[in-house]
Every structure is written in structure tokens, then in C-alpha cells.
Amino acid sequence: MSIFHKAFWHSKAIADNAETNKEEQEMIELKQTGFQEMPGVKVSNPNEPHMACVLLLDTSSSMIGEPINSLNKAIKDFKEQTSLDEFAQKRVDIAIIEFNDKARVVQEFTPLPQLQPVCLSAVGCTAMGEGINLAIDKVKERNRFYASMGTPCFKPWIFMITDGAPTDDISVARQRIIDEESKGKYGHLKFWAVGVPGYNKETITSLTKRCIELDGKGKEFSDLFDWLGASMVTISVSRVDENPKLPDLPNNARVIPSDF
């Protein structure tokens, strides 16, 4: 049984045991309908706790060919599989940011089941610092949005994948990660840095303690996104103030020591 399916069946067992008073459920549905009809609002089930996750993706020229094709497919499969989970589909909001010559938002935050297929192209340099800063701005903005609506929120994730060294300055971005991760008992952000063949180890290990390396057999992302989906399910069935144990990494990935 895959990592994702173990997490899925655990979530389903919790859902099967949950009971909601009929009158309370009707009130929730009325509130949700009104919320969702507000112009420009992209969040479902606002009375449920929510988690913001940014996929921060290196689409520089070194990712051309099979790597970028594999990444596009992995994102599609991640959405389809993780959306099957009753809790994740209601609680996880995804945004996609790419960085090459510059950083840009590919997709604004949207409920997981509404995530649109992407067709990323590989071109240019590696504006990693700009990408990180944009991602941090987006998750902070999203959490402020949750707070304004009275929606409880899990700690946001930024999940960065890169195969090279930055071509811009990352010093400000690095300090912002450190600052956000050091706030409170568990920090106000979880930043993940995933290095795929060709990545700069010194760079990613200077950013966070959550560093993952994919093996050198190629840039194949399906197992990694399977793990990411299982992690989203695990978090979505937990409490907001919990720090749940995540599934084990896939066989083609390993944690690498960092500077922290």
C-alpha cells in the first residue's frame, strides 16, 4: 500500500466516526454558501481549519525536457489523488509559484479540488531569492485572509523544488525564512527545500532544517508528490495546534543535514 493510500484510509476512518448534529450542519452549509458567493473569494468550507501550501518551483532552463514534463504530471496526479480525501479536499489550499529569470504566480491560492492543470516550461536563470520572498508574502497574506474570515489555520508550507544554484541574492529571503520558522513554539512557517540532481547543497542547507535530496537516477517527481499528498492528508485530519508525525519519505528521497 502506498504512502498516500495509508494516509487516505486513516483519514476515512476518522471521517466515518465523525457525527455532526443536523441543525448545526444546516447552519454551516448556509454560512458556507454565503461565503463562497462573495466576489473574488477562493476558499471552500470556511468553518473548517485551512492550510495554505505554496509549490515553489524552479523552472530554469536546466529543467528542460523530461524533468519539467515529469513535474507537470506529478502536480496533476497530486491534485487528483489528494482531492479524494474528505478532509484534504475541504482544508488544503494550494498556490503555485515558479522562478526562472524572475518569479511569478502561476496559480493563486485555490481549494485543492479546484487546482487547474499546469503546463510549466523551462527557461532562463534561477531567481530563487525573488521566488522565496514572493512565496512568503503569499502565505502571510493568505493567513491574514483566513484570520479576517474567522477561519482557523494550520501552519503554512512552502515546498520548494530546485535543481541549481540561485542567480540572484538570497540573503533577505534566507533571513525571512529563519525569522518565520523561529516564531512561537513551532514557528509560523514550514519551509521545505528539495534538491534534485544538479542542485546546490550549500544553498538549500543554509535556508532551513527541512532539506530533502532526490537520488541521482533522474528528475522523477511522482513519489515525492505522493509523499506530499500523504503529508497534506495527515495534517488535514490533525488539530491546528498539533505537530503531527509525517509519513516516511519515499525510497528515492532522503533528509540531508542542514546548518540548523
The grid coordinates listed for 138 are 503569499
Q: Tell which wins on pLDDT, 185 or 75.
A: 75
C-alpha–C-alpha distance, residues 90 and 152, integer Å: 13
**Which parts of the chain are beta strand (E)?**
51-58, 92-99, 103-111, 157-162, 190-195, 211-214, 253-255
The alpha carbon of 26 is separated from its chain's Cα centroid by a whole number of angstroms, namely 31
Cell numbers at 15, concatenated: 471521517
Q: What is the pLDDT of residue 32?
A: 37
> 24-28, 57-61, 127-131, 185-189 — which is least confidently predicted?
24-28
Q: Pull the grid cell for residue 9.
A: 484510509
Average pLDDT over residues 44-53: 90
Q: What is the dihedral sign for C-alpha 33, 35, 38, 43?
A: negative
What average pLDDT does the segment 163-181 reach? 97
Q: How far apart are CA 78 and CA 96, in angstroms?
A: 13
The pLDDT confidence band at residue 184, using thresholds 50, 70 and 90, is confident
For residue 194, give the nearest of 183, 207, 182, 181 by alpha carbon. Answer: 207
Nearest residue to 75 via CA among 45, 91, 98: 98
Helices (H), 40-163: 66-82, 88-91, 128-148
pLDDT of 234-255, one tens digit each?
999 999 989 899 999 999 999 9
Give the integer Cα–Cα distance in Å for 124 and 106: 16
Q: How far apart are CA 79 and CA 116, in angstroms?
A: 9
CA 69 to chain centre: 19
| Structure confidence at residue 11 as a pLDDT band (50, 70, 90) | low
Identify residue 213 by its one-letter amino acid code: E
> Could you tell me the pLDDT band of residue 24, with boundaries at 50, 70 and 90?
very low
Lowest mean pLDDT among 94-98, 155-159, 181-185: 181-185
Cα end-to-end distance, the chain, whole Å: 34
> Where does the pLDDT of residue 21 fall: very low under 50, low under 70, confident under 90, or very high at 90 and above?
very low
How many Å apart are CA 190 and CA 93, to the nearest integer?
15
